[in-house]
Structure 1
Amino acid sequence: MTTTSPDFPDTIYAIQHLAFEDLGALEDVFYQLGYRVRYFEAGVDDLTQAFGHKGLTIILGGPIGVYESDDYPFLQKEIDLLKERLKQNLPTIGICLGAQLIAHALGAKVYAGHQKEIGWSTLHLSHTENNLLSALIDTPVLHWHGDTFDLPENATLLASSDLYPNQAFTLGKHILALQFHLEVAADSLEKWLIGHTCELRHANIDITALRADNQQYASALEQVSGKIIQQYLMQL
């Protein structure tokens, strides 16, 4: 049974920038709530339908930067479609690169950070009324990014980390941007370690230690992430 109004579209659209960075644990949450899921591949599929969707569209992560449109021309088209979607205040969640794209589309600066943030740690939650991420208190989340962004105008900051001040924000009740990875699934994080091996080694990340942290923290995050998504859907 869905948690939104009866006329809310029952299909979740998800835009992928990397094959193994999918909806993860959130996909099962959506199925349990009665939704269907349809994926679009950025750089391959026409994203017009995904960005024009009246229901929830989720923009997932990837290793490229929003400022690399010269090398990846599809990015500019994606940004243009996203700008129009945000103007219409349609339900949109951005994760990692998706959050950076939302920030950029809202006029904020997105740029390379001072260091890679890869690994598990807790967030500093903002003391804002009805913080959508309040369930994450004392729950480590997975960070995996090198870029960061300034807080867009009129956005509400939800969370920070020790390394970066802007980890999550909302704009109204429909737009949610998460720099960290809320979606990770405990049983499939090995593919991240395989797919991102070059980045991990270049950043001198201890892969064995990261795997151990994944095993320690991912299951707990799964439980909390489902609650956050349900709360987000209920407020639409």
Structure 2
Amino acid sequence: MKTALALRHIHFEDLGTLEPLLRERGFEVRYLDPAEDDLSGLDADASDLLIALGGPIGAFDEAAYPFLANELRLLERRLASGRPLLGICLGAQLIARLLGAAVTPMGFKEIGFGTLTLTDEGRQSVLAPLAGVPVLHWHGDRFDLPANGRLLAGTDRCAQQAYAVGDRVLGLQFHLEADAGRIERWLVGHCGELAQAGVDPHALRADADEHGAALAEAARRTIGAWLDRQRDAEALAE
């Protein structure tokens, strides 16, 4: 059986709607918590897919959160292996950092559902199903485009929302994986951040109800297409 290893920084920011897709595709899904689990001896290329998920800390915060150093080393080894790597929100920022890109505060929070503007490359990429579909944004930092990366999407408030490096590395600033049926966990878990940013949880809840089904379907098509590319690349390599 294929394996998908997910690095989960906060319990409710899990694989969400992507987990059933991965299981249907024959993956055994395993979570590790970098804040608690020792990543130092982990074989970076042992899993068929590695996913670094989101979290409310920064990509350069290892002085305050020392576990990030081991996570960065694991991701660095994964990049060197050339095996599939998906980063979401913090995960995408950590990968961008390792690829030499700056990750900096925006000076404000981008929180809520909103559509992406796909670049020309983005419209030809696996992100094509996300055109016109509101995705969940929840971040205060942004990444620059990594060297050799292709910019796939942006928004008016954050121009760099998605990048790809080759066919094996995909970084997404937004949360296409968010399960709208469990949005209450996000609202409670991030209640302090919402209050500080002046975001109304009633509006977020209503938007999740309105857009959740379309986002789940678009996420399934997007990541399904990306997984197909990984399968095809592995077949060519054999």
Tell me if TM exceeds 0.5: yes
Structure 1: segments with no counterpart, 5+ residues = 1-8
Match of 1:215, SS state, is helix
Q: Of residues 20, 23, 30 in structure 1, which corresponds to 2:22?
A: 30
Match of 2:111 in 1: 118
Q: Of residues 39, 46, 59 in structure 1, which corresponds to 2:38?
A: 46
| Distance in 2 (alpha carbons) for counterparts of 1:84 and 1:29 | 26
CA contact (8 A) 1:15 1:50 kept: no
Larger deviation, residues 115-124 vs 75-84: 75-84
| Distance in 2 (alpha carbons) for counterparts of 1:88 and 1:34 | 22
Give the paired residue count.
Answer: 228
Runs of 4+ more than 4 Å apart = none
User: Kindly tell me: are residues 92 and 125 of structure 1, through their superposed partners in 2, closer, same or farther at Cα, counting changes over 3 Å?
Assistant: same
Structure 2: segments with no counterpart, 5+ residues = 231-238
CA contact (8 A) 1:108 1:152 kept: yes
CA contact (8 A) 1:40 1:50 kept: no
The alignment yields a C-alpha RMSD, in angstroms, of: 1.2
What CA deviation, in whole Å up to 9, does each residue of 1:67-125 have, x standing for no partner?
A: 11111011112112211211221100000000000100111111111310000110000
Q: Does 1:217 align with 2:214?
A: no
CA contact (8 A) 2:126 2:223 kept: no
With the length of structure 2 as denominator, give the TM-score of the two structures: 0.93
Match of 1:4 in 2: none
CA contact (8 A) 2:45 2:81 kept: no
| Distance in 1 (alpha carbons) for counterparts of 2:142 and 2:58 | 10
| Distance in 1 (alpha carbons) for counterparts of 2:177 and 2:85 | 15
With the length of structure 1 as denominator, give the TM-score of the two structures: 0.93
Write the mapping of 1:34-183 to structure 2, written as runs, cut at 5 A.
34-47=26-39, 48-49=41-42, 51-128=44-121, 130-183=124-177
| Distance in 2 (alpha carbons) for counterparts of 1:29 and 1:50 | 24
Q: Does 1:194 align with 2:188?
A: yes
The alpha carbon displacement at 1:53 in A equals 2.6
What CA deviation, in whole Å up to 9, does each residue of 1:116-139 have, x standing for no partner?
A: 000011000010173110111110
